[in-house]
């Protein structure tokens, strides 16, 4: 029997009245595990109205009390860590340990949201002119929206609504319809932590729901994570409708390997960074750039990756799980075939991989190409699967030029024992997040997630200080309190005197 996934509207869990029904499937066998009714226009309007009404009260709640809600919430998330990871693993196909990591990286952002008071401090200067002081306040926007992808159904919602709500806003979350059960459990625990009803609303649906949120007059800010074409659409449509928008899009992340790097460390780190989570990470390493004689390491890298065995979420020996759906699998397989056709050397081919007893699942085995050039589709396009492309250059300067020529700028890394090489790379590379001997440099939440170029559309990034700026406005006050009996003369200029 499949589970009915509800909407959360104004503190009430409702199945919804929408006639469009989506079946949530198990990626390991494509069998049904849940279903949801897409929210109607009226239901989305109700969710926005509930968030707006709750926000009018919430913005007056002391910032210290808002922080205490976040403290209680992170405590509940930690208590339910394994439960959340189990739900997540079953609906995404991730291994249990990987699912736990997904939840934990979200918990870290909630911990940062509990520090909201210090992040919302304004500024002040006394005597900017004679007897005049200027000071600023950070104040909430109103109702904000999060549109989240399938690949991190715990972490990415937790990037968004805890920070927005801690800042004093109401929130409407539209999670991926492919794995909605994890976000719903996050919402249940948020209310259990003491959040007022209606402050967080969750609605399910597809493009129609997104379009309504993008154009709704009561929505002030939109946060989105997904692909390039959708990110561009979200950004343009939202900003055309006078919304503040941050849209995180695609990626093509490079790992540069210098001759002085430790070979075994490189191999160990590259294996997990390339095929971990079935390559369905926006920060996955999909291109390994071998500098100089390190190209001789490619066969050993391929052998190590070939030993990774995909499997079910509760298999402790599984390296990763299936792709999210049959369309994702078909696209990855088509790109693998394009690599072969365009002349890349397929050292490891996972096209025909399957798990016994789960042949209907969305399985793709680890795949490694060498001899990849920038003209090939497997280099130009984000594959979003367990496929590593290996390319070779002669010098560090060549590697920097290669990476900088790529239209994406989400993340990159360099492995080296040379401080000079590392500094040159971090200084000259045109990518927002750089790892030095760290393959996936996702910053902890007291920093911000800072993709560049076609990996991000907007001005202010997720979590950290930039998230506070994204979810708030600054009000600046200039004040004079004349002493009793002192009469100021007329001032016909703009200058303060």
Q: Give catalytic residue positions.
A: 282
The phi and psi torsions of 242 (rounded to 5 degrees) equal 65, 30
Q: How far apart are CA 406 and CA 349, in angstroms?
A: 25
| Nearest to 362, CA basis, from 312, 318, 406 | 312
CB 268 within 8 A of CB 301: no
Task: Enter the tokens of residue 289.
Answer: 């750039």
First CA to last CA distance, the chain? 75
CB 448 within 8 A of CB 467: yes
Under 8 Å CB-to-CB from 227, ≥6 apart: which residues? 249, 250, 382
Q: What DSSP state is assigned to residue 490?
A: P
- Angle at CA 46, nearest 5°, toward 45 and 48? 65
Q: How far apart are CA 63 and CA 73, in angstroms?
A: 15
**3-state class percentages of the chain: helix first, strand second, coil last, to nearest 5:** 40, 25, 40
Q: How far apart are CA 384 and CA 332, in angstroms?
A: 7
Identify any residues that bridge with 408 across adjacent strands, giving them in sequence order.
453
Determine the angle formed by the axes of helices 181-192 and 81-92, rounding to 10 degrees.
160
- Angle at CA 474, nearest 5°, toward 468 and 475? 150
Instruction: Indicate the burial class of 407 (C-beta count within 10 angstroms; 0-12, 13-18, 19 or more).
Output: exposed
**From residue 3, how far is each of 23, 32, 37, 203, 393 by CA, in Å?**
10, 9, 12, 16, 52
Torsion, Cα of 84, 90, 95, 96 (10° steps): 30
HEC-encoded secondary structure of 421-481:
HHHHHHHHCCCCEEEECCCCCCCCCCCCECCEECCEECCCCECHHHHHHHCEEEEEEEEEC
- Give one DSSP letter per residue of 274-305, joined into a string: HHGGGG--TT-EEEEEEEGGGGGGHHHHHHHH
């Amino acid at each position: 029997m499949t589970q009915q996934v509800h909407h959360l509207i104004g503190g009430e869990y409702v199945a919804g009245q929408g006639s469009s029904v989506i079946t949530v499937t198990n990626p390991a066998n494509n069998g049904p595990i849940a279903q949801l009714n897409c929210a109607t226009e009226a239901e989305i309007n109700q969710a926005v109205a509930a968030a707006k009404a709750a926000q009018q009260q919430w913005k007056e709640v002391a910032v210290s009390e808002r922080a205490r809600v976040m403290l209680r919430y992170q405590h509940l998330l930690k208590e339910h860590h394994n439960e959340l990871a189990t739900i997540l693993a079953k609906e995404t196909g991730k291994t249990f340990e990987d699912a736990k990591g997904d939840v934990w990286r979200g918990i870290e952002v909630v911990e940062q949201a509990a520090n909201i008071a210090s992040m919302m401090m304004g500024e002040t200067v006394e005597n900017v002119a004679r007897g005049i002081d200027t000071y600023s306040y950070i104040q909430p926007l109103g109702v904000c929206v999060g549109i989240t992808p399938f690949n991190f159904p715990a972490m990415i919602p937790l990037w968004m609504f805890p920070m927005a709500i801690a800042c004093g806003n109401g929130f409407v979350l539209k999670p991926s319809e492919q794995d909605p059960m994890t976000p719903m459990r996050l919402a249940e625990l948020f209310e259990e932590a003491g959040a007022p009803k209606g402050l967080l609303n969750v609605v399910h649906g597809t493009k129609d729901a997104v379009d309504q949120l993008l154009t709704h007059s009561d929505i002030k800010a939109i946060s989105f994570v997904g692909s390039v074409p959708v990110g561009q659409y979200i950004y343009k449509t939202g900003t055309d409708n006078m919304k503040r928008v941050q849209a995180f899009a695609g990626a093509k992340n490079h790992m540069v390997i210098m001759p002085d790097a430790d070979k075994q460390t490189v191999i160990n780190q590259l294996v997990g960074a390339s095929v971990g989570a079935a390559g369905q990470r926006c920060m996955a390493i999909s291109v390994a750039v071998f500098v100089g004689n390190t190209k001789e390491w490619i066969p050993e890298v391929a052998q190590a990756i070939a030993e990774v065995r995909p499997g079910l979420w509760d298999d402790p020996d599984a390296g990763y799980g299936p792709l999210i759906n049959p369309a994702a699998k078909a696209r990855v397989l088509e790109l693998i075939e394009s690599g072969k056709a365009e002349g890349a050397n397929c050292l490891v081919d996972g096209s025909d991989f399957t798990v016994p007893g789960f042949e209907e699942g969305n399985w793709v085995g680890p795949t490694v190409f060498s001899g990849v050039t920038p003209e090939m589709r497997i280099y130009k396009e984000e594959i979003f699967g367990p496929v590593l492309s290996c390319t070779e250059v002669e010098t560090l300067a060549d590697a920097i030029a290669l990476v900088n020529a790529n239209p994406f700028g989400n993340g990159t890394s360099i492995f080296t024992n040379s401080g000079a090489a590392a500094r040159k790379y971090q200084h000259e590379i045109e990518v927002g997040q750089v790892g030095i001997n760290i393959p996936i440099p996702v910053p902890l939440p007291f920093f911000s997630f800072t993709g560049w170029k076609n990996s991000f559309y907007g001005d202010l990034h997720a979590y950290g200080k930039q998230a506070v700026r994204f979810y708030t406005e600054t009000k600046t006050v200039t004040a004079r309190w004349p002493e009793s009996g002192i009469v100021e003369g007329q001032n016909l200029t703009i200058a303060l005197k």
